[in-house]
């Protein structure tokens, strides 16, 4: 039959359905598209045309190949079920000698993870060659096909060649009945007549939207086109030339330019908020309805979680077919935490405390109900919290599982024994996978994990993956340590994704770019239209470099680029309106496809809209829920010792205070954060303390240099010795050294006359607020006597502006009552007022001041709380009142409330606890 070439704007699934409906017996027709989605739309159009009928056979290309393969009359082909690890086992065990030789390794020399990683890479290269029907003898010419050791490539030994491994690998796979996808294609290409014969059994066979074919596909489709009672429908484009089984007609293509708009944003989340605006959704309003001719294109999976949180809840009916990547789920995050945990084991079989607590405070672990689910999760949280407090206090860096169990009590012991220890006892991949399955089951039964909305899908996927490995020929493979098992398992699971359910033909469609192939939409919203995201075309890998691909007829990055161009043009020029969202930052800007679109419009003097959205991201839609304070919690809060940092956290956001100071999640930072700025800060503090209290400190400058050297040496020697565990690096040492001498010069300038009274002084004091006595503490870096005035100095080693650490002018201007009515962020920091209050308790009759000395800025500076012109008593009174009001509210108010200023949320470390990004 004569092929049909569609103009832009013509609807391929609809026309395919029209062709089928013209059959006398439409159910005896065949319909094949390269991907699944057009089939759903074609079925819908068909039922609209013909009413309820038995559907014709509708396949995606891969389903069609499976169907043809299972219908082959060749009874000599035996097919067995297998998984990817089985294929790796063929290379690692059956072709052990040849595989090692290719890798230029002696048998037993290479570790299993190395072999496994190479086996996976080789198999994917083999599959590319096989699907393109590349003969082994053709590969022999390509000695440059890469092996890990380049010297091996030039050798003439037979088995060092990729081609020999390739030939033997497929021979063995066929022998075992492991028919891979590429083997099926290649086998069918050899029996293309059978494929055409299969199509002849239908009244009509329609093939829609095929573009760029590999060699096997070309042979099969060519045969079907010539002898298979078939009709081919193409979306026409100049790019189709030479890329299909038919020649395209020499005709002018009609191309009406849609209305387009570019929205430049500051971040990915920002793009999603802008999408919401463009869709006209707003919170509190009723859900918006869209027809299936509206699509949101989601070219990268990282856009899906914010889109699911921010946009789709406002839509009455939608379908998301872009798969949700397993990598973005909490259960995968938990396995990454396990990998990190086992990776931290030292020679004494101790875990790093940082990795252990990062695992323990994963939501699924800290909410584990001990005693087979009979205990409350609260007990587990408390147990881990106490254990972490203890570890932080004792500065424990490494600790054994037994010590953790002994210190942590029954809940911690149960978790250690039932969730961690079984992995340590695994001696093969199969055993590891069994432990992984039990681990997922335990979390499912005894943790709150199963309350997570996507719990059901993703742990099941991970269990399925564990079963695939366990039941494969790799099951008996051993690795050197537990971390290697988890790493392999995580990387094996990492490519999995789960599509959300929903009607594929109703409501707003959320599609990955390639899923939108061959579909037509009236209005398109394109997220992630950025140069580092779209088009997603990677350069060739090192096993099959560009030159080899050209010679062998394999697809190259240029061809992949053409595929993107073709489907992008068809998608956009078939629509009436398209809005593109992209992030402009240091790493990326508008996609090259966007630049080209603009150029095309400009050439024809057609206007397009462009806007740069600078408006801050609004998190309001989340309606972040406050956390209720129970009476028990209020009693607990009354008994606490407060520092300025608790007050500052509370003023910026009640929930932040709750997470960091009540649940102590913030202490993760102290114990677990990478050391760089903190270690440097601590070392600097210690050196300066030593310096000021060393004998001879008040000597002339030249001698002070010697004293500073001495202080530096004493402190850094000790820290550097600790380098292997938690010490500083030599690089950091030199940074510290430079800062110390900068400080000496700064101090020498006009401060050398000051009398240094105290260093690193901790002061505990109390204040009475409405009858309740609150305990407070402050740790003061230095206390000076400056001509009778007491000045408390605080060193800041970060590079931040010191203004961040002092109260804002608005405290006096706006008045506290107004500020405490929902504007607490206007106070700024209460650090220095609290320090003054602490110092007052010792230096009772003296004038007190406080200052910040910024050691982290290029130029060391000091800023005082009270300036000469200030009415000091009046100011201090206001600050003290602010401290009292904050304390009163902490224990008095009935809930911990979200930030009063949304800007606080933007970089908040607790954003995920507030479910801002659904992470």
* Contacting positions for ligand SF4 (CB under 6 A): 624, 653, 655-656, 659, 898-899, 904-905, 908, 910-911, 914, 916
Cβ(515)–Cβ(569) below 8 Å: no
Q: How far is it, in rounded angstroms, from Cα 493 to Cα 341? A: 18
118/121 Cα distance (integer angstroms):
5
**Residue 842 Cα to chain centre, angstroms:** 51
Contact (Cβ atoms closer than 8 angstroms) between residue 498 and residue 326: yes
Task: List, in sequence order, every residue forming a beta bridge with 609; answer none if it has no partner.
Answer: 261
Q: Given the DSSP bridges, would you call strands 755-769 and 772-786 parallel, antiparallel or unpaired? A: antiparallel
- Of 262 and 657, nearer to ligand SF4 (C-beta) is 657
Instruction: Tell me the closest approach of the beta carbon of residue 478 to ligand SF4, in angstroms.
Output: 45
Residues 6 or more apart whose Cβ sits within 8 Å of residue 436: 335, 423, 462, 463, 466, 489
The DSSP element (H or E) to which 37 belongs, if any, is helix 37-50
Distances (CA, A) of 496 to 178, 501, 541: 21, 16, 21
| Nearest of 66, 70, 82 to residue 176 by alpha carbon | 82
Nearer to ligand SF4, 496 or 646 (CB): 646
In the complex, the smallest distance separating the C-beta of residue 911 from ligand SF4, rounded to whole angstroms, is 4
Name the residue nearer to ligand SF4 (CB basis): 162 or 659.
659
Cα–Cα nearest to 315, from 293, 282, 274: 282
d(CA 197, CA 200): 5
Q: Which is nearer to ligand SF4, 617 or 916 (CB)?
A: 916
Give min distance, CB of 266 to ligand SF4, in A. 18
- Toward ligand SF4, which CB reaches closer, 526 or 619? 619
* Min separation Cβ 656 and ligand SF4, Å: 4
Of 480, 464, 473, 476, which Cα lies nearest the Cα of 430?
A: 476
Query: Which of 430/898 has CB closer to ligand SF4?
Result: 898
CB of residue 564 vs ligand SF4: minimum separation in angstroms? 37
Helix 644-652, helix 872-892: angle, nearest 10: 70
Nearest residue to ligand SF4 by CB is: 908
* 168 vs 656 by CB, closer to ligand SF4: 656
DSSP state of 239: G
Closer to ligand SF4 at the Cβ: 686 or 824? Answer: 824
Most distant pair of Cα atoms in the chain: their distance: 108
Measured torsion, CA atoms of residues 832, 838, 842, 848, in degrees rounded to the nearest 10: 20
**Residue number with CB closer to ligand SF4 (459 or 654):** 654
- Least distance in angstroms from the C-beta of 890 to ligand SF4: 15
Q: How far is the CB of 275 from ligand SF4 (least distance, A)?
A: 21
Rank residues 103 and 830 by Cβ distance to ligand SF4 and give the closer one: 830
| Closest distance of CB 598 from ligand SF4, Å | 37
**Min CB(895)–ligand SF4 separation in Å:** 12
Shortest Å distance, C-beta 909 to ligand SF4: 8
Distance CA 892, CA 771 (A): 13
User: Quick one: 463 or 661, whose CB is closer to ligand SF4?
Assistant: 661
Tell me the C-alpha to C-alpha distance, in Å, between residue 916 and each of 362, 471, 584. Answer: 17, 40, 22
Given the complex with ligand SF4, which of 334 and 624 has the nearer CB atom? 624
Beta 294-297 vs 508-511: how paired, if at all? parallel
In the structure encoding, which two tokens stand for residue 830, read together? 């209460």
Taking the complex as a whole, the smallest distance from the CB of residue 390 to ligand SF4 amounts, in Å, to: 26
The SS3 call for residue 538 is: coil
What's 727-791 look like in SS3?
Answer: CCCHHHHHHHHHHHHHHHHHHHHHCCCCEEEEEEEEEEEEEEECCEEEEEEEEEEEEEEECCEEE
Q: Which is nearer to ligand SF4, 606 or 620 (CB)?
A: 620
Number of H helices, E strands in the chain: 39, 24
The residue written with tokens 């659904």 in the block is: 918
Residue 367: CB minimum distance to ligand SF4, A:
19
Q: How far is the CB of 626 from ligand SF4 (least distance, A)?
A: 9
Query: Would you tell me the crossing angle of helices 644-652 and 831-840 to the nearest 10 degrees?
Result: 150
C-alpha torsion sign, points 501, 505, 507, 513: positive
Residue bearing tokens 């290697």: 484
Give the other-Cβ count within 10 Å of 745's Cβ.
10
Q: Yes or no: say if 112 and 485 are a contact pair by the CB < 8 Å rule.
A: no
Residue (625 or 755) nearer to ligand SF4, CB = 625
Paired tokens of 123: 């198999």
Q: Which residue lies nearer to ligand SF4 by CB, 124 or 823?
A: 823
Phi, psi angle pair for 634, to nearest 5°: -65, -40
Q: How far is the CB of 308 from ligand SF4 (least distance, A)?
A: 18
Question: Nearest distance from residue 658's CB to ligand SF4, in Å?
Answer: 8
Local structure of 530: helix, strand or coil: strand
Smallest separation (angstroms) from ligand SF4 to the CB of 662: 12
Q: Spell 89-120 as b/e; 16+ CB within 10 A means b.
A: bbbbebbeebbbbbbbbeeeebebbebbebbb
Q: CB of 666: closest distance to ligand SF4 in angstroms?
A: 10
- 42/662 with CB nearer ligand SF4: 662
Sign (positive or negative) of CA dihedral 468, 473, 476, 478: negative
Residue 624 vs 637, nearer CB to ligand SF4: 624
Q: How far is the CB of 363 from ligand SF4 (least distance, A)?
A: 15
Distance CA 738, CA 763 (A): 31
114 to 110, 117, 170, 318: CA distances (angstroms)? 7, 5, 22, 44
Q: Cβ closer to ligand SF4: 712 or 911?
A: 911
């Amino acid at each position: 039959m004569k092929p049909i070439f569609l103009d832009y704007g013509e609807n391929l699934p609809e026309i395919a359905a029209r062709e089928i409906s013209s059959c006398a017996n439409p159910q005896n027709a065949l319909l094949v598209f390269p991907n699944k989605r057009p089939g759903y739309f074609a079925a819908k159009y068909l039922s609209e045309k013909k009413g309820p009928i038995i559907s014709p056979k509708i396949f995606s290309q891969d389903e069609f190949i499976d169907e043809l393969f299972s219908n082959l009359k060749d009874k000599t082909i035996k097919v067995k079920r297998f998984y990817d690890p089985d294929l790796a086992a063929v290379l690692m065990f059956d072709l052990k000698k040849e595989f090692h030789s290719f890798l230029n390794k002696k048998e037993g020399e290479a570790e299993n993870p190395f072999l496994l990683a190479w086996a996976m890479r080789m198999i994917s290269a083999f599959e590319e060659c096989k699907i393109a029907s590349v003969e082994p003898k053709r590969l022999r010419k390509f000695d440059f096909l890469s092996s890990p050791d380049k010297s091996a490539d030039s050798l003439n030994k037979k088995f060092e060649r990729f081609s020999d491994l390739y030939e033997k690998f497929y021979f063995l796979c066929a022998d075992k009945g492991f028919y891979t996808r590429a083997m099926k294609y290649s086998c069918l290409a050899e029996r293309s007549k059978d494929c055409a014969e299969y199509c002849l059994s239908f009244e009509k066979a329609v093939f829609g939207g095929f573009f760029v074919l590999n060699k096997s596909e070309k042979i099969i489709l060519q045969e079907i086109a010539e002898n298979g009672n078939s009709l081919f429908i193409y979306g026409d484009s100049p790019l189709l030339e030479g890329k299909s089984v038919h020649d395209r007609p020499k005709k002018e293509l009609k191309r009406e330019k849609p209305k387009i708009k570019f929205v430049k944003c500051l971040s990915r989340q920002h793009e999603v908020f802008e999408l919401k605006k463009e869709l006209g959704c707003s919170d509190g309003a009723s859900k918006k309805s869209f027809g299936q001719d509206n699509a949101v294109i989601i070219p990268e999976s990282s856009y899906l979680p914010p889109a699911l949180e921010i946009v789709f809840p406002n839509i009455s009916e939608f379908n998301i077919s872009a798969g949700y990547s397993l990598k973005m789920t909490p259960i995968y995050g938990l396995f990454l935490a396990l990998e990190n945990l086992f990776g931290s084991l030292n020679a004494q079989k101790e875990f790093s405390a940082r990795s252990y607590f990062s695992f323990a405070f994963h939501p699924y672990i800290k909410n584990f109900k001990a005693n087979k689910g009979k205990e409350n999760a609260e007990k587990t949280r408390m147990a881990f919290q106490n254990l972490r407090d203890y570890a932080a206090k004792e500065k424990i860096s490494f600790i054994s599982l037994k010590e953790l169990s002994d210190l942590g009590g029954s809940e911690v012991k149960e978790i250690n024994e039932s969730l961690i220890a079984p992995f340590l006892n695994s001696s093969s991949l199969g055993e590891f996978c069994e432990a992984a399955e039990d681990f997922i089951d335990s979390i499912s039964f005894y943790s709150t994990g199963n309350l997570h909305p996507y719990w059901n899908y993703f742990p099941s996927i991970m269990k399925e993956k564990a079963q695939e490995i366990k039941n494969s020929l790799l099951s008996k493979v051993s690795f050197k340590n537990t971390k290697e098992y988890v790493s392999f398992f995580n990387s094996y699971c990492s490519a999995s994704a789960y599509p959300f359910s929903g009607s594929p033909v109703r409501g707003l469609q959320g599609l990955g770019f390639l899923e939108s192939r061959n579909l037509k939409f009236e209005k398109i919203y394109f997220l992630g239209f950025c140069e580092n995201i779209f088009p997603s075309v990677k350069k060739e890998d090192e096993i099959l470099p560009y030159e080899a691909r050209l010679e062998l007829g394999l697809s190259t990055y240029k061809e992949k680029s053409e595929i993107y161009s073709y489907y992008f043009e068809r998608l956009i020029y078939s629509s009436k309106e398209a809005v593109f969202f992209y992030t402009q930052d240091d790493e990326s800007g508008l996609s090259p496809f966007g630049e080209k679109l603009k150029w095309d419009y400009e050439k024809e003097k057609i206007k397009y809209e462009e806007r740069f959205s600078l408006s801050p991201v609004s998190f309001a839609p989340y309606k972040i829920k406050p956390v209720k304070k129970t009476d028990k919690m209020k009693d607990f809060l009354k008994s606490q010792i407060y520092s300025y940092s608790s007050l500052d956290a509370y003023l910026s956001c009640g929930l932040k205070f709750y997470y960091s100071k009540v649940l102590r999640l913030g202490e993760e930072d102290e114990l677990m954060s990478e050391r760089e700025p903190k270690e440097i800060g601590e070392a600097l503090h210690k050196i300066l303390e030593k310096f000021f209290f060393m004998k001879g400190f008040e000597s002339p400058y030249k001698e002070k240099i010697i004293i500073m050297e001495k202080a530096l040496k004493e402190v850094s020697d000790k820290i550097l010795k600790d380098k292997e565990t938690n010490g500083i690096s030599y690089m950091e040492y030199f940074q510290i050294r430079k800062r110390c001498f900068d400080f000496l010069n700064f101090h020498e300038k006009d401060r050398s006359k000051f009398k240094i009274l105290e260093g690193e002084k901790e002061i505990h004091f109390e204040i009475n607020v409405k009858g309740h006595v609150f305990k407070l503490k402050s740790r003061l870096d230095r206390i000076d006597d400056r001509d009778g005035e007491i000045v408390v100095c605080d060193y800041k080693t970060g590079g931040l502006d010191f203004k961040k650490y002092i109260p804002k002018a608005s405290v006096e201007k706006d008045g506290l009552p107004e500020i405490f009515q929902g504007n607490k962020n206007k106070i700024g920091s209460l650090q220095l007022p609290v320090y003054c209050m602490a110092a007052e308790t010792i230096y009772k009759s003296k004038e007190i001041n406080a200052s910040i000395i910024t050691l982290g800025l290029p130029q060391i500076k000091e800023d005082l709380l009270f300036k000469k012109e200030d009415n000091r008593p009046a100011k201090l009174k206001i600050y003290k009142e602010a401290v009292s009001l904050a304390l009163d509210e902490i224990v008095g108010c009935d809930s911990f409330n979200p930030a009063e200023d949304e800007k606080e949320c933007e970089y908040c470390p607790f954003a995920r606890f507030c479910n801002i990004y659904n992470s």
